[in-house]
Amino acid sequence: MTDSAAEFEPPPTRIVLYPDPVLARPASPVTAFDDAVHALVERMIELMRGAEGVGLAAPQVGVSRRIFIAEPEPGPESVPVVFINPELELGGTLEPFEEGCLSIPEVRVMVRRPSVVKIRAFDLDGHAFELEDDDFPARVWQHEFDHLEGVLITDRMSPRDRLAHRKRLKGMREDFEDAGR
């Protein structure tokens, strides 16, 4: 499969919501670091900032490609880091933390994840880089990487959270069906 500008047209206009099937599909690798990818990432940054998020993956704007962006630290001075075709190496201990998702508004669930992450990825110019973290970014990277695998926090919910959010998720599924009609 090759990248082309046409693949990303028209430009994404909104964040895709649960249970859109694009969120449940493993994304395919980026093979060309061209203008189309730059434009897509620019749009993703705008949409993430508009929604006051700290991370956003390409499938969340309807593009099934292995790209995500993440704010290194929340705040106005932060410049989002772009991760293309990322790979994770997980370590440390499993830690619980409450996560939300821009594709599942109003739902926050406790997710246990490894505390230490080494990430290898390519930047927008196709240069490989590596980062390691044992704090908030490590959490965000894992959440966004999940999106590239078609995995959502709803797939990682405890039975208790599943029960607590049952009504809200059912409502979102009904809204999605209604919108498709």
Question: Could you tell me which residues are beta bridge partners of residue 112?
Answer: 96
If you count them, how many residues does the chain have? Answer: 181
- Least distance to Zn ion from the beta carbon of 31, Å? 24
Enumerate binding residues for Zn ion (CB under 5 A).
101
The residue with its CB nearest to Zn ion is 101
**Residue (40 or 55) nearer to Zn ion, CB:** 55
- Alpha helices for the chain (secondary structure H): 35-50, 136-148, 159-164, 166-180
User: Which residue, 36 or 147, has its beta carbon nearer to Zn ion?
Assistant: 147
Whichever of 36 and 101 has its CB closer to Zn ion, that residue is: 101
Q: From the CB of residue 91, how many other CB atoms can be counted at a distance below 10 Å?
A: 12
Q: Which is nearer to Zn ion, 34 or 150 (CB)?
A: 150
Q: Which CA distances in Å does 16 have to 63, 112, 131, 161, 177?
A: 10, 25, 28, 22, 14
H or E element that contains 38: helix 35-50
Active site residues: 144
- Are 84 and 37 in contact by the 8 Å Cβ rule? The answer is yes
Question: Least separation, in Å, of the C-beta of 69 and Zn ion?
Answer: 12
Rounded to the nearest whole angstrom, what is the least distance from the CB of residue 7 to Zn ion in the complex? 22
